[in-house]
Amino acid sequence: MRILVVGAGATGGYFGARLAEAGRDVTFLVRPARAEALAARGLRVLSPVGDLTIDAPQTVTADRLAAAGPFDLVLLSAKAYDLDGALADVAPAVGPGTAVLPILNGMRHLDRLDAAFGADKVLGGTCSIVATLTTAGEIRQMTELHTLTYGERDGSRSERVAAIEAQMDGVRFQARASDKVLLEMWEKWVFLATLAGATTLMRGAIGDIAAAPGGKAFIEGLLDECQAVAVANGYGSREKVLAGARKILTTEGSAMTASMLRDIEGSARIEADHIVGDLIERGRAEGVETPLLARVLTHLKTYENRRAREAA
Ligand SMILES: NC(=O)C1=CN([C@@H]2O[C@H](COP(=O)(O)OP(=O)(O)OC[C@H]3O[C@@H](n4cnc5c(N)ncnc54)[C@H](OP(=O)(O)O)[C@@H]3O)[C@@H](O)[C@H]2O)C=CC1
Ligand SMILES: CC(C)(CO)C(=O)C(=O)O
């Protein structure tokens, strides 16, 4: 199976490197600067599960992609704000038999992918990992968590899902085919929007917030709002999943933060509309009030406005 990973950043670089480590046929679609860096220094992953360097990763830039022909699987790992460019760039790699597997947080990208390639090509997918692309171009995985979940959005067990399962066999991360992938994407979104909302607004880790007056109540209020939106949209988190999320998100002493907080601390772009704005909109469409999420969005958009003003 020919696998094209779009982006060699924190998630794409990590899962792509692990697939290459297991001997899979992996090519990274990268932009010219990243192509040069990978050619010069290889793809380096620093991980508590085991460091890894792919010395000469196969890469391709958009201008040469048509010559590479269609791929069997496209693993899409660009950030939401880069989605339009990434979809235009990857188009030549998507043929009649290509499966497109996005691992972005949130849900809205699915509509964009359906419009670009046709819904029949697009799988559901989500990943759980705490990772970052360092300024030196390495992928740094911060905890042992590394799960990739994928599946047909209608829940069926198709031949292509079985083929992907075979590719995932023996890789050094947890890979799982799901017959409830849309629900799992929503469950991840409910968790992530709460984590990102709380840790960015309060500028601290979960444990810092939990130890502050009103901190736990704030986090729980945010979680309840996110869950109410999910329920109204038909994808409320399962009881056990929600209870697990509540526990993780209110644990005293926890150093957990969201990648969005790390992005803000690095003055990088963030997925405010994709992760928080879209949740608010989907709530509003179903008559669900989300005042805490609204404050989170005000904060995130303030950050974006300031960042844009200072860059001008
Ligand atoms: N980091 C984490 O811990 C987690 C992140 N996520 C989610 O995963 C998604 C990806 O995030 P993450 O991996 O952290 O992001 P990164 O910014 O680390 O990586 C994204 C990469 O995509 C590349 N890219 C963007 N557009 C193109 C293009 N047109 N062609 C080729 N490459 C492109 C960027 O390349 P360039 O270097 O050229 O800009 C960048 O390196 C997000 O939705 C995020 O919310 C989910 C779970 C955990
Ligand atoms: C929830 C978490 C930490 C796990 O993947 C994540 O997706 C993020 O920080 O963006």
pLDDT at residue 219, rounded to an integer: 98
For residue 148, the cross-strand partners are 127, 175
Ligand 2 atom closest to 127 (CA): 5
Q: How far is CA 243 from CA 113, 223, 240, in A?
A: 32, 11, 5
Ligand 2 atom closest to Cα of 196?
Answer: 9
CA of 213 to the centre of ligand 1 (A): 35
Rounded percentage of the chain residues whose pLDDT exceeds 90: 100
The predicted pLDDT at position 184 comes to 98
Model pLDDT, residue 49: 95
| Spatial separation of the C-alpha atoms in residues 81 and 270, rounded to whole Å | 8
Paired with 44 in beta bridges are: 53
CA of 83 to the centre of ligand 2 (A): 18
Q: What's the DSSP call for residue 4? A: E
Query: Collapsing DSSP states into helix, strand and coil, what is residue 48?
Result: coil
Q: Give yes or no for residue 126 CB within 6 A of ligand 2.
A: no
289 conformational bin, left if phi > 0, alpha if psi -120 to 50, beta if neither = beta
7 lines ligand 1 (CB under 6 A): yes
Buried b (16+ CB within 10 A) or exposed e, 2-22: bbbbbbbbbbbbbbbbbbbbe
Which residues does residue 128 pair with via DSSP β-bridges, in sequence order? 147
The count of residues in the chain is: 312
Choose, from 188, 216, 240, 247, the residue flagged as catalytic.
188
Instruction: Spell out, as residue ranges, where the chain has pLDDT lower than 50.
Output: none
Q: Which two tokens stand for residue 296?
A: 């989170």
Residue listed under structure tokens 């597997």: 101
> If you measure from the C-alpha of residue 312 to the centroid of ligand 2, how many angstroms do you get, rounded to a whole number?
30
Q: Which ligand is nearest to the CA of 10?
A: 1
CA of 70 to the centre of ligand 2 (A): 31
**Separation between Cα atoms, residue 209 and residue 87, nearest integer Å:** 38
d(CA 237, CA 219): 16
pLDDT at residue 204, rounded to an integer: 97
Q: What is the pTM of this model?
A: 0.96
The yes-or-no answer on residue 188 being catalytic is yes
